[in-house]
């Protein structure tokens, strides 16, 4: 498999990097955190999106070491931002295989990385997906409870796009729901998407959860989601995902 060979080589050649996208308080516009998004800088093909290579990396067992690299790099960069006076949180996406891996233990990996970089657990947010909760959910539940007990917050990403089962919201220690950008992109004109978002927000709130709306690209979408009661927003309206230096400049200009 050509992609597998290329990925193994990319790991050795350190061709992976992280971009960071700001998350803002939708009412005040204040930046509260960042989401770390993995990229592959292939010397020939340029920047490759994770949706192309993460499924392959998962299948070939590369996502556990690569995920460890993501955790370490994101928290190292967060420590640098904290030193610059930006008291932000960091959201990291994790794959099912990281949660399943018993040898490494995701909770332990996170605890050690927090320690190594001197970051308080409340600054670390862990994004999981619905599909992750389907397979081997008992082991996953124990791992996620452990991560929650460390003091980290669990986010349910891409909400509404998977095999949504509302029982997940009760069973797993989820504190925040991220509304998938496919529901946001046709706002404010699409009545049915507006209704779905309204229902998701009401349900989340009644369960004591917070909500992040993803993929906000226009002022109208922001205003609409604010009225509907989303707590946080993320999207190109605020900023695209940026490399650390550019993100740091963006933060400097913003405050």
Choice between 49 and 84, CB closer to ligand G:
49
Using the rule CB under 6 A, give the single segment among 1-9, 22-30, 92-100, 139-147 that binds ligand G: 92-100
Question: Binders of Na ion among 177-216, rule CB under 5 A?
Answer: 214
Question: Binders of ligand G among 130-189, rule CB under 6 A?
Answer: 157-158, 181
Selected from 6, 7, 34, 37, the binder of ligand G by CB under 6 A is: 37
Secondary structure letter of residue 110 according to DSSP: H
Is 77 among the residues that bind ligand G (CB under 6 A)? Answer: no
Which token pair is 174?
């989820």
Q: Which candidate, 35, 43, 67, places its Cα nearest to that of 54?
A: 67
To which residue do tokens 């699409």 refer? 190
Longest Cα–Cα distance of the chain, Å, equals 50
User: In this chain, which residue has its C-beta nearest to ligand G?
Assistant: 235
What does the per-residue mask of binding to ligand G show for 15-34, with x meaning CB under 6 A? ------x-------------
Q: What is the DSSP secondary-structure string of 6-57?
A: HHHHHHHTT-EEEEEEEEEETTT--EEEEEEEEEEEETTTEEE-HHHHHHHH
Which token pair is 78?
């967060």
Minimum distance of ligand G from residue 85's CB (angstroms): 26
Using the rule CB under 5 A, give the single segment among 4-12, 86-94, 111-119, 226-234 that binds Mn ion: 86-94
């Amino acid at each position: 498999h050509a992609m597998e060979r290329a990925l193994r080589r990319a790991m050795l050649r350190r061709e992976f990097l992280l971009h960071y996208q700001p998350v803002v308080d939708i009412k005040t516009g204040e930046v509260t955190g960042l989401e770390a998004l993995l990229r592959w800088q292939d010397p020939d093909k340029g920047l490759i999106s994770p949706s192309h290579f993460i499924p392959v990396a998962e299948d070939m067992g590369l996502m556990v070491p690569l995920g460890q690299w993501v955790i370490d790099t994101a928290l190292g960069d967060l420590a640098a931002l904290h030193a610059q006076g930006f008291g932000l949180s960091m959201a990291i996406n994790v794959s099912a295989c990281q949660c399943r891996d018993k040898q490494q233990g995701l909770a332990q990996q996170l605890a050690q990385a927090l320690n190594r970089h001197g970051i308080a657990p409340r600054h670390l947010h862990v994004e999981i997906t619905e599909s992750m909760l389907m397979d081997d959910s008992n082991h996953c539940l124990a791992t996620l409870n452990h991560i929650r007990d460390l003091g980290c917050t669990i986010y349910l990403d891409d909400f509404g796009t998977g095999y949504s089962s509302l029982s997940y919201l009760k069973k797993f220690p989820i504190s925040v729901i991220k509304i998938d950008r496919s529901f946001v992109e046709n706002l404010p004109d699409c009545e049915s998407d507006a209704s779905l978002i309204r229902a998701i927000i009401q349900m989340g709130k009644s369960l004591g959860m917070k909500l992040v709306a993803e993929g906000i690209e226009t002022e109208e979408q922001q205003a609409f989601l604010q009225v509907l009661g989303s707590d946080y927003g993320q999207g190109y309206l605020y900023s695209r995902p940026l490399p650390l230096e550019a993100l740091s400049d963006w933060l400097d200009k913003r405050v």
